[in-house]
Homo-oligomer: A and B are copies of this chain.
Amino acid sequence: MTADQRPDKYFEDYELGCVVELGSVAVSEAEIVDFARLYDPQPFHTDPEAAAQGPFDGLIASGWQTCVLTMQRFVPGYLSPASSLGSPGIDELRFRVPVRPGDQLSVRATVVAARPSTSKPDRGIVQTRLETFNGEGALVLSMLLINLILRRP
């Protein structure tokens, strides 16, 4: 079943405690350098030789790149165009372990809170713990993401 064929999800489908495995994505040295040159130009993200002498003993990905690669898995696998109304924000975003060239990142989402909106009866507020792991199973990134989701019509 392709993403386009998935059934629509609504607020009622985000049940407390529900865990969704969102698959994985690899990140290469070239991708790390290209992303960081544009958005986060620090030597330990952009220059393999300087990074080898730097605080992380080698090149690491910008934490922001890990975030957007996580989002690349999260959006099609967890949200539905029929109901997603965007996000007011994120709490407790933590870069826990450096992401390195060749890492294969896998993403897990857990519904940690879900309540109807008190001001807008057509929607609910879902809080999701997003966790990203490297190929060795180490947690590299975690965050609490808030999403506004339409209730089932």
Contact = CB atoms under 8 A, between A and B. Distances in A.
A107 to B, nearest CB: 13
Interface of A: 38-44, 55-56, 60, 62-64, 67-69, 71-72, 75-76, 79, 81, 84-95
Contacts of A90: 90, 93
A83 B53 CA distance: 13
A95 B38 CA distance: 22
Taken together, the copies of this chain in the complex come to 2
Contacts of A79: 42
Given A64-B67, A67-B67, 19 more contacts: A39-B72, A40-B71, A40-B75, A41-B75, A41-B76, A42-B79, A55-B85, A55-B86, A60-B86, A63-B86, A68-B68, A86-B95, A87-B95, A88-B95, A89-B92, A89-B93, A89-B95, A91-B93, A93-B93
Contact of A68 (B42, B64, B92, B94): B64
